[in-house]
Amino acid sequence: MADARGSGEIVVRSFTGGMFAENTYLAACARTGAGILVDPGAATADALRAAEASGVTIEKIVLTHAHLDHVEGIPLARRELPGIPILLHPADLPLYGAAPMQAQMFGVRLEPLPPVDGELVVGETVRFGECALAIRFAPGHAPGHVMLVGDGVALVGDVIFAGSIGRTDLPGGDFATLMRSIREQVLTLPDETTLHSGHGPDTTVGHERTTNPFVTGVYGGGGFA
């Protein structure tokens, strides 16, 4: 588990688990204690325990995208927190509906997923307490992939990692589209912005701008650092 504080009020905590080593995130508004559960994967139970222990009231489940490792904890979260809405970009609804098939492909057991309750609208915000994160559209790894950005932090899902990028060989993936998303949605953020990725450690925009081989052009992608 790792903690990170933005420049103001949003505190982000990560919880890693499962065969995919996916990062589940708890983002909380420090002033009010309201929070959101982002990409609930195999470590969802840890995130829920941490929220209870720290007095965070989870108001929403927010999905950057709907690949199996980012949704497998939803049934548990819904049982523990009945009635909280699940939010997803509509372009990823087919992936969400195909989650049982995704699980079969990887030999993973998946409980039935509840329906999505609302859509993430690009250009709007996800609000919790007195805090908000802007919704940015960043497809390429998945058709409806979004990032949540604000207060010096960015929850980027599988768009970019420390030293790497999201894979594009899954259904709906496209390398050129992903690189455009990185150029337009990640590299336009201030260098000091902390990037909370779906896998691996936190990094910053500035670090990836100068060292990520996909961004600098070593591994392709145009070298637009």
Position 111 scores a pLDDT of 87
Position 153 scores a pLDDT of 97
The CA distance from 132 to 53, in Å, is: 23
Query: pTM of the entire structure?
Result: 0.93
The CA distance from 107 to 100, in Å, is: 10
Residue ranges of the chain with pLDDT lower than 50? 1-7, 224-225
Tokens (6 digits) for 100: 């049982």
How far from 184 is each of 66, 154, 187, 200, 223, CA to CA, in Å?
A: 22, 14, 6, 22, 14
The CA distance from 66 to 144, in Å, is: 8
Position 191 scores a pLDDT of 97
**Domain 2-216 CATH class label:** alpha beta
Mean pLDDT score across all residues of the chain: 93
86-112: b or e for each residue (b if 16 or more CB lie within 10 Å)? bbbbebbbebbebbeebbeeeebebee
Domain boundaries, the chain: 2-216
Position 65 scores a pLDDT of 98
Is residue 159 within 8 A of residue 141, CB to CB? The reply is yes
Position 218 scores a pLDDT of 58
Is residue 159 within 8 A of residue 147, CB to CB? The reply is yes
